[in-house]
């Protein structure tokens, strides 16, 4: 593999472990835990792994002579910067315990476990991937692990390879699966521990005990660099409005972080749209009013950040999607038998309630159709495929013409469109993510040594230098509640949406009017890997403000 100059230099970076993990550790138990909601149902579904205590690690002055262990690892779901470092940390962690330990990677996601596709990860292989972006060392996939047949099939290969612990690196859905698998293996005394690691650029796998998911820091820094560049371009030529859609699935954390970093003219936060019970037209009017006001000052340019999940948060569309999910799950065969788009549209319209049919009919045909296309294996609408940025700018243009006709607008409006998502998911991890991921992997090895199962690897105190981070494990059942998926109530990890009373949103809300009418852009520039700590080692502003607010 030919390496760039930066790749070569970056390979030499030594992630900084929390001080407690630099020697032998012992696990110290905290209080027993409860799930965040629906305690009774969750306890019933997880009789063997519910209520476990939180753990933290302390130095162990009298370690024994731990045995070698064979461990399996899976990368699950969308790519996020730092996945390779989780695997490097895990590799180094199990080798440190006993150099005869072995690490196997299952290929292309959870499907690799079920289909028995794997490779052994050796030191030669891992050294090629340290501090690099991507998940290409073993690949990733979105197969949902949920049936007993899949679990049993997985157990066959785990037994064949003498694997006694499995680490699943994934988002909320994948860690939910990890918890279900842990419970099942424990219930049949399979002798396989299951440990999760919090991954996703979306930033929505976090709570009181998991401060952030890995990859969010790097991805938002990449997007902020490009948004900053676009804003400087737009402030130079002063002739375009840039509509920038940002990944993040349901939650608006990515858009909010980029807004805090770049100070755009407009940033829509889906969670606020929902809380205000706004319609799509309300959002359009809000944008058009700012465009018109800036035009009065001769500023026919600007930037608009749009979270990709926006459409799902418009309350009327949300209700429509909920009914569509049930309809498409219950009448899947009938729907699949229809061959033309028009037949499918008519089928949907005739099966929906009156209110939802009206919403469906009011959406542009392409967007409406997208809402009926295949969900991902976890039941999510594939929002990254909906072109909300184009939909909004077209509606804003129409609204501005109405305002012009009424004598309320006299500017020029030319829109440019962008969608940033895939550009940031495989970037080389920032120092924060490189350290965080390596630490999460190493810490997972310590959880394995501690003999526990159904835990998520956890590092806390993340706004402090990495050597001061607190290492431990959180029972996954603690993060769960019951939600409707594919027409059924299921136990899932509660998704963290943007909190409207949280410090990051309040900071944004206190500034946004100034940013809208005055041009206050900031230009974060590219991620720096080498140089002073104040440039290279800064955590996200979301994390910083959340910690300040504590």
Residues annotated as catalytic are 202
* Secondary structure, 3-state, 337-374: HCCCHHHHHHHHHHHCCHHHHHHHHHCCHHHHHHCCCC
Give least dist CB 339 to ligand FBP, A. Answer: 26
207 is written with which tokens?
Answer: 């709570």
C-beta of 195 vs 516, nearer to ligand FBP = 195
Q: How far is the CB of 222 from ligand FBP (least distance, A)?
A: 13
- Judged by beta carbon, residue 78 or residue 472, the one nearer ligand FBP is 78
C-alpha distances out from residue 394 to 182, 284, 374, 398, Å: 49, 9, 26, 6
How near is the Cβ of 83 to ligand FBP at its closest, in Å? 10
Cα separation of 126 and 57, whole Å?
Answer: 26
The residue (of 175 and 231) whose beta carbon lies closer to ligand FBP is: 175
| Spatial distance between the Cα atoms of 92 and 103, rounded to a whole number of angstroms | 10
What is the β-pairing status of strands 241-246 and 302-307?
A: parallel
Contacts with ligand FBP, residue ranges (CB under 6 A): 77-78, 80, 171, 200-202, 247-249, 383-384, 421, 425
- In 206-259, DSSP assigns E strands to 241-246
CB 104 within 8 A of CB 166: no
Concatenated DSSP letters for 487-535? TEEEEEEPP-PPPTTSHHHHHHHHHHHHHHHS-------S--SSS-HHH
Q: How far is the CB of 77 from ligand FBP (least distance, A)?
A: 3
CB of 220 to ligand FBP, least distance (A): 12
* Closer Cβ to ligand FBP, 110 or 248, answer by number: 248
Nearest approach, Cβ of 277 to ligand FBP (angstroms)?
Answer: 25
| Structure tokens belonging to residue 305 | 């950040």
Nearer Cβ to ligand FBP, position 163 or 314? 314
Contacts of 475 (CB under 8 A, 6+ apart): 33, 49, 50, 51, 52, 53, 54, 454, 455, 456
Place of tokens 């199990």: 94
Across 372-497, where does the E strand assignment appear? 415-420, 455-460, 470-475, 480-485, 488-493
How many CB atoms are located within 10 Å of the residue 118 CB? 21
Q: Which is nearer to ligand FBP, 94 or 254 (CB)?
A: 254
Q: Nearest distance from residue 84's CB to ligand FBP, in Å?
A: 15
Single out the residue of 440, 478, 376, 458 nearest to residue 80, CA to CA: 440
Q: Considering beta carbons, is residue 418 or 425 the nearer one to ligand FBP?
A: 425
The two beta strands, 488-493 and 480-485, are: antiparallel
Q: How far is the CB of 142 from ligand FBP (least distance, A)?
A: 6
CA distance 391 to 30: 50
Residue 194 CB-half CA count within 13 A: 33
d(CA 338, CA 166): 42
Of 223 and 432, the one with the shorter C-beta distance to ligand FBP is: 223
């Amino acid at each position: 593999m030919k390496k760039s100059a930066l790749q070569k230099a970056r390979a030499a970076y030594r992630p900084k472990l929390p001080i407690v993990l630099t020697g032998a550790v012992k696990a110290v138990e905290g209080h027993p835990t409860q799930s965040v909601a629906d305690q009774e149902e969750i306890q019933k579904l997880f009789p063997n792994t519910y209520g476990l205590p939180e753990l933290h690690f302390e130095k162990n002055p009298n370690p024994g002579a731990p045995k070698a262990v064979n461990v399996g690892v899976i990368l699950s779901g969308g790519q996020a910067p730092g996945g390779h470092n989780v695997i490097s940390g895990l590799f180094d962690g199990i080798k440190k315990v006993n150099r005869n330990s072995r690490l196997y990677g299952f290929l292309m996601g959870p499907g690799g476990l079920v289909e028995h596709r794997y490779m052994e990860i050796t030191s030669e292989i891992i050294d090629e991937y340290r501090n690099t972006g991507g998940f290409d060392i073993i690949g990733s996939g979105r197969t949902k692990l949920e049936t007993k047949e899949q679990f049993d099939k997985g157990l066959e290969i785990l037994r064949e390879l003498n694997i006694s612990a499995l680490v699943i690196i994934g988002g909320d859905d994948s860690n939910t699966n990890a918890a279900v698998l842990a419970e099942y293996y424990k219930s049949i005394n399979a002798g396989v521990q299951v440990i999760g690691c919090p991954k996703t650029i979306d930033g929505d796998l976090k709570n009181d005990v998991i401060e952030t998911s890995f990859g969010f820091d790097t991805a938002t820094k990449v997007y902020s660099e490009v948004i900053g560049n676009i804003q400087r371009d737009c402030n130079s030529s002063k002739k375009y409005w840039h509509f920038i859609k940002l990944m993040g699935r349901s939650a608006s954390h990515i858009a909010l972080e980029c807004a805090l970093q770049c100070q755009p003219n407009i940033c829509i936060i889906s969670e606020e749209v929902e809380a205000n019970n706004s319609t799509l037209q309300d959002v359009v009017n809000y944008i058009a009013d700012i465009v018109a006001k800036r035009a009065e000052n001769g500023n026919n340019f600007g930037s608009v950040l749009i979270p990709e999940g926006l459409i799902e948060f418009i309350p009327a569309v949300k209700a429509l999607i909920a009914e569509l999910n049930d309809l498409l799950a219950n009448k899947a065969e009938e729907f699949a038998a229809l061959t033309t788009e028009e037949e499918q549209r008519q089928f949907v319209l005739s099966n929906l309630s009156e209110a939802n049919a009206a919403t469906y009919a009011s959406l542009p045909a392409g967007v409406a159709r997208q809402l009926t296309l295949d969900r991902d294996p976890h039941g999510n609408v594939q929002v990254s495929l909906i072109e909300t940025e184009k939909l909004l700018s077209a509606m804003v243009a129409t609204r501005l013409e109405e305002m012009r006709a009424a004598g309320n607008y006299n500017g020029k409006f030319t829109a440019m469109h962008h969608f940033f998502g895939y550009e940031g998911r495989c970037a080389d991890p920032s120092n924060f993510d490189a350290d965080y991921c390596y630490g999460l992997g190493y810490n997972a090895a310590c959880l394995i040594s501690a003999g526990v199962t159904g835990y998520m690897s956890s590092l806390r105190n993340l706004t402090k230098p990495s050597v001061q981070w607190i290492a431990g494990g959180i029972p996954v059942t603690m993060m769960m509640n019951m939600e409707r998926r594919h027409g059924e109530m299921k136990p899932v990890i509660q998704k963290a949406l943007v909190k409207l009373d949280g410090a990051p949103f309040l900071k944004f809300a206190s500034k946004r009017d100034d940013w809208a009418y005055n041009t206050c852009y900031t230009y974060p520039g590219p991620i720096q890997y080498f140089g002073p700590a104040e440039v290279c080692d800064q955590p996200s502003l979301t994390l910083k403000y959340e910690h300040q607010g504590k």
